[in-house]
Structure 1
Amino acid sequence: MSSVNKENWILHSVIFSLKHEKGSEAEQRFLADGEAILTSIPVVKAFKVYKQVSAKNDYDFGFSMEFANQDEYEDYNAHPLHEKFVSERWETEVERFLEIDYQLR
């Protein structure tokens, strides 16, 4: 991140639980497909998939990614692959989620 203008940088993250049975093939397929599809969008950087382990909340997984600026973030949101993933997979397979976007102070 050293070459990124830190004033404009965005860390986009979402924690979520799936409708699938824990440990199921469908659960693993969703996580793998999410990573493959979303990382193919050119503006997505530093994509990570997380398993949530805190006892302080009951979400199961997290995705995070970085954008250099607001324009890149908006390009991601409007990208056809993102829109297709959301409509075909996210809306049908995710039980609940919390989205958090950060900038450095």
Structure 2
Amino acid sequence: MKKGRIRHMAVFTLKSQYDSAETKKFLADGEKILSSIPVVEHFEVLKQISNKYDFEFGFSMEFANQEAYDTYNAHPDHQAFVEERWKKEVKKFQEIDFEVY
């Protein structure tokens, strides 16, 4: 990752069962909706493989700069996903934002 870029990650556990249709739909919808926001780059849906950490999934994405990240946060599709899906279906989460040191 180049200096000035931002990597945003949200790690989370859903209220639905790990392999359920609801979980698969949430992950697929999250990818479709959030990756379609023009400033989002390198979107990935991740699953946890370590027993050292108790979050089950992650969304990871990159932004060209702080302005792009702010645009994403204010984007109506992101805000709608948070209100209509995230707040209702996510049991617990942690957000992490990184830039190159």
TM-score (norm 1): 0.94
Aligned to 1:84: 80
Q: Cα deviations across residues 21-50 of structure 1 (Å, max 9, x unaligned)?
A: 120000000000000000110000000000
Superposed CA RMSD in Å reads 0.8
Query: Does 2:40 match 1:58?
Result: no
Question: What whole-Å deviation, never above 9, does each CA across 1:29-82 have from its counterpart, x for those lacking one?
Answer: 000000000011000000000001111111100000000100000000000000
* Structure 1, unaligned runs of 5 or more: none
Aligned partner of 1:98 in structure 2 is 94
In the alignment of these two chains, the number of paired residues is 101
Residues 13-92 of structure 1: pairs in structure 2 closer than 5 A: 13-92=9-88
Percentage of matched positions with identical amino acids: 55
Letter in 2 for 1:101: D
Match of 1:7 in 2: 3
Report deviation, 1:8. 1.5
Question: TM-score scaled to structure 2, two decimals?
Answer: 0.97
Which segments of 5 or more consecutive residues in structure 2 lack a partner in the other structure? none
